[in-house]
Amino acid sequence: AQSVTQLGSHVSVSEGALVLLRCNYSSSVPPYLFWYVQYPNQGLQLLLKYTSAATLVKGINGFEAEFKKSETSFHLTKPSAHMSDAAEYFCAVSDKYNQGGKLIFGQGTELSVKP
């Protein structure tokens, strides 16, 4: 069975500092991986996705993630945090043999940005 683990339910950074949100996955087949962001009282917005092409994936709002098969990781980074990045971030996995593209979400990481 597939699963996703997000290390740290809450991460706090200063404005301008590096953002690093950790995601490790478990999958017996090559995974498709996603990062979503959820602002308060809103739906989820896709930040980026990995679908077995380039291992370094660039997304919206300056975020990127690197797929490391040897570490079964897909950590999300942003060089310089902005106040508007404060939100909940979810990592998700979906395997390509799963009909309907069911997403398995991690528990989420709340990002706080201090001025």
- Cβ atoms of 110 and 97 within 8 Å: the answer is no
**Helix, coil or strand: residue 60:** helix
Minimum distance of other proteins from residue 1's CB (angstroms): 14
Counting every residue written for the chain, the total comes to 115
- Which residues lie near other proteins (CB under 8 A)? 32, 34, 36, 41-46, 49, 88, 90, 94-103, 105-108, 110
Of 18 and 39, nearer to other proteins (C-beta) is 39
**Residue 107: DSSP 8-state:** -
Of 69 and 102, nearer to other proteins (C-beta) is 102
